[in-house]
Chains A and B, each alone.
Chain A
Amino acid sequence: AQSVTQLDSQVPVFEEAPVELRCNYSSSVSVYLFWYVQYPNQGLQLLLKYLSGSTLVKGINGFEAEFNKSQTSFHLRKPSVHISDTAEYFCAVSVPFSGGYNKLIFGAGTRLAVHP
């Protein structure tokens, strides 16, 4: 069965410091991986996605993630965070279920708290 594990439920960090949010997945099929961000009381916004090709994926707001097939990981990084990056981050894997459609399986989320 497919699953996504986000290794840290909360990550506190000071402003302008680098951050890494960790994500591991398990899947028996080829995967497509996503990171979403959620600000309080809002929906999810796509940060970046890995479909194929280069294992280093760049997204919005200066975030990037690296797909590592041997370690089944898709960690999210930012070299210098801002207060405005404070939010909850979700890693997700897209897997087929029927009729050519995808189903997203989400991790439990990592709450990033950026302090001045």
Chain B
Amino acid sequence: DGGITQSPKYLFRKEGQNVTLSCEQNLNHDAMYWYRQDPGQGLRLIYYSQIVNDFQKGDIAEGYSVSREKKESFPLTVTSAQKNPTAFYLCASSPRDSMNTEAFFGQGTRLTVV
């Protein structure tokens, strides 16, 4: 089945540590996105990538980094510079045909700083 796989589902991190969230898609989509979800704030865009080896900052990129070495993969690293990393992180992808396409979402990773 085609889809987006995020791993792990739950992740715990000690303060001061970097952690990487995995996102893989087999939908052959060009565009991939990372969103952060906090209660009562909806989803906010962290980074997006339109093509391999290219990515742009979204609305809340500080303290995060990404890479796009393969079309299928778009990992997100939460660095120690992110002051409040505890949140639910969602990865999404969309095809490159027009701007009215929907985004397909993974099941999310819940990150907790302990």
**A pairs with B:** yes
Name A's B-contacting residues (CB within 8 A): 9, 32, 34, 36, 41-46, 49, 51, 90, 94-96, 98-104, 106-109
Knowing A100-B96, A101-B31, the reply to whether A43 touches B42 (Cβ < 8 A) is no
- B residues 56-85 touching A (CB-CB < 8 Å): 56
Is B40 interfacial (CB-CB < 8 Å)? yes
Partner of A44 from the list B31, B99, B105 (CB cut-off 8 Å) is: B105
Is B53 interfacial (CB-CB < 8 Å)? no
Q: Are B42 and A109 in contact (CB under 8 A)?
A: yes
In the bound complex, how far is the Cα of B39 from the Cα of A107, in angstroms?
A: 12
Minimum C-beta distance from B103 to chain A (A): 6
Q: Are B42 and A98 in contact (CB under 8 A)?
A: no
Instruction: Count chain B CB atoms within 10 A of each CB in A36, A98, A101 and give the residue with the most.
Output: A101
Q: Are A102 and B100 in contact (CB under 8 A)?
A: yes
Chain B contact-residue range equals 20 to 34
Partner of B108 from the list A34, A42, A51 (CB cut-off 8 Å) is: A42
- B100-114 CB mask vs A (1 if < 8 Å, else 0) is 111101111010000
Q: Are B108 and A43 in contact (CB under 8 A)?
A: yes
Q: Taking A44-B43, A102-B94, A102-B101 as given, write out 8 further A-B residue pairs in contact, using a Cβ cutoff of 8 Å, ordered by the A residue number.
A: A32-B100, A43-B4, A44-B92, A44-B105, A96-B99, A100-B98, A103-B48, A104-B33
Knowing A99-B50, A101-B50, the reply to whether A9 touches B40 (Cβ < 8 A) is yes
Q: Are A90 and B102 in contact (CB under 8 A)?
A: no
Q: Are B108 and A49 in contact (CB under 8 A)?
A: no
Residue on A nearest B51 in the bound complex, by CB: A99
Is B41 interfacial (CB-CB < 8 Å)? yes
Partner of B102 from the list A43, A46, A103 (CB cut-off 8 Å) is: A46
Is B45 interfacial (CB-CB < 8 Å)? yes
Partner of B103 from the list A98, A100, A104 (CB cut-off 8 Å) is: A104
Minimum C-beta distance from B41 to chain A (A): 6
